[in-house]
Amino acid sequence: MSSFIRNLQRKIKRNHPDYEPAPQPTIIEGDGYQTLRSTKGWIRISNRRLAAQFKMAHMLDHVLAPRSKTPPREYRKPMPVPPGRETWQQRRAARRGYVPA
């Protein structure tokens, strides 16, 4: 059986509504914790790294810059152009050979 079929079978099991993952062995220490990974053995995570991960997740979840009330330029309605005035879009179209109907 190829690994592709086994991966599909594993995904089908995980997507089942009654699926519960196996408990992951974890040792909690004073300055962090260790967790057992199936392919890498015991991995140690320090409290400093854990705090940095929480801080980064918090920064990514929250909007840091205030949003402006006006929509972005490309979504705004174009301003009416007075007759006789040529815009850069018209000049660009003329350079490319477009003739308005």
CA 32 to chain CA mean position, Å:
28
pLDDT given for residue 70 in this prediction: 74
Task: Read off the pLDDT band of 42 (50, 70, 90).
Answer: very high
pLDDT in tens, 51-97: 999 999 888 877 666 777 776 767 667 778 888 888 888 889 889 99
Tokens of 93: 């179209």
Q: Residue 43's pLDDT band (boundaries 50, 70, 90)?
A: very high
Burial of residue 34 (CB within 10 Å: 0-12, 13-18, 19+) is middle
Kindly report, residue by residue over 1-39, the tens digit of the pLDDT.
678 899 999 899 999 989 998 888 999 988 999 999 888
**Rounded-to-integer distance, Cα 93 and Cα 100, Å:** 9
